[in-house]
Amino acid sequence: MFAIPYLIGGIVAATEDGIINKIHVLSKGGGMSSYSKRQFVRIISVGIIAALMLSPSAWAWGRIGHRVAAEMAESRLSPRALAVIHELLGPGVSLSDISTWADEHRNPSSGAWHYVDVPITESRYDPKYCLSKGCVVSKIADFRRILIDRRADKFKKQEALKYLVHFIEDLHQPLHVADNNDRGGNQTQVRFFNRGSNLHRLWDSQLIENKSHNEQDWLRDINSLATSQNVSQWSKGTPEDWAAESLQIAKKAYCLPGTNTVMPSGTKLDDNYCRMALPIIQTQLAKAAIRVAATLNEIFR
Ligand SMILES: [Zn+2]
């Protein structure tokens, strides 16, 4: 959601070195700078790359996390839900294919829908932390309502389905629910295997990618958690309950492994932290999958 300011920043910064004519750009000082087409394209590319690198939550749960949870969810749909969903999405489009759409189509009004900032000192999720423009918890309810509304048109339902799947998954990323006055971990800088990162990005994607980039490996691991006992337990509850659960888990994410000490910015994290975090991530992805399936089976029963 911060991509646009960074992009502008990237372009403005890039205008400060070389200058050739044909394309005119407003420079930092307010004057006009001129560029050749090729230079302009290069500047825009640099800006976009910078924006993607700096954008703190460009890929909530990352691509792998969203896709594998949605794939597992799809395998657990009832024949009726599967038929309605395929009718909505069109031939050959899977839940996994649409699971990252909401991150790819973020805009200023939908940016806040992907998370809710509940202070880690709280013991439960409270709706007072949901902003008036909506948050991940309220939007799940909104899009569920559209999907059960007989009068809603196909396009609206299609969009609601894409958001619903994505937001149930986002809700299971602990740092999409908890906050320590650091924008959900985005402002807690860490050294992950000696490379600069931040706590939010670590939980979105880096811990997942550090283990494996292979979606089938991840799918196998999270599917193995779907015992009948887990499924019956995890299918229960409301998005508010799931948010409260994520909040509790985030307290661990914020602490140095094996302690109750909140990590200061600049903390070095390595295998020790991965060993604590990976089982949590696997469980959260499996829960998300089971709850996406349970929600859709209930909507399209
Ligand atoms: Zn998201």
- What is d(CA 288, CA 36) in angstroms, rounded to the nearest whole number? 49
pLDDT at residue 129, rounded to an integer: 98
Which residue ranges make up each domain of the chain?
Answer: 3-53, 57-299
- What is d(CA 81, CA 93) in angstroms, rounded to the nearest whole number? 14
Count how many Cα atoms sit within 13 Å of the Cα of residue 250 in the half-sphere of its side chain: 32
Q: Which of 9, 12, 49 is nearest to 33 (CA)?
A: 12
Encoding tokens for residue 90? 């069109």
Distance in Å, CA 191 to ligand 1 centroid: 24
pLDDT at residue 301, rounded to an integer: 94
pLDDT at residue 187, rounded to an integer: 96
pLDDT at residue 61, rounded to an integer: 81
Encoding tokens for residue 230? 């887990």
pLDDT at residue 50, rounded to an integer: 45
Q: Which of 70, 103, 71 is nearest to 204 (CA)?
A: 103
Beta bridge partners of 268: 191
Distance in Å, CA 115 to ligand 1 centroid: 8
With both helix axes pointing from N to C terminus, report the angle between 79-89 and 271-299 in degrees, rounded to the nearest 10: 90
pLDDT at residue 275, rounded to an integer: 96
pLDDT at residue 39, rounded to an integer: 53
Total-model pTM: 0.81
Count the Cβ atoms, other than its own, within 10 Å of residue 235.
16
Distance in Å, CA 44 to ligand 1 centroid: 25
Distance in Å, CA 27 to ligand 1 centroid: 33
- The overall longest dimension of the chain from CA atoms, in Å, is 68
Distance in Å, CA 266 to ligand 1 centroid: 26
Distance in Å, CA 125 to ligand 1 centroid: 19
Contact by Cβ (8 Å): 252, 276? yes
- What is d(CA 245, CA 14) in angstroms, rounded to the nearest whole number? 44
Distance in Å, CA 39 to ligand 1 centroid: 33
Distance in Å, CA 4 to ligand 1 centroid: 17
pLDDT by residue for the chain (301 residues), tens only, comes to 333 333 333 333 333 333 333 333 333 333 334 444 455 445 445 444 444 444 434 456 889 999 999 999 999 999 999 999 999 999 999 999 999 999 999 999 999 999 999 999 999 999 999 999 999 999 999 999 999 999 999 999 999 999 999 999 999 999 999 999 999 999 999 999 999 999 999 999 999 999 999 999 999 999 999 999 999 999 999 999 999 999 999 999 999 998 999 999 999 999 999 999 999 999 999 999 999 999 999 999 9
Second-level CATH architecture of 57-299? Orthogonal Bundle (1.10)
Q: Which residues surround ligand 1, an ion (CB under 5 A)?
A: 60, 103, 114, 170
Given CA atoms 27, 33, 35, 39 in this order, what sign does their dihedral have? negative
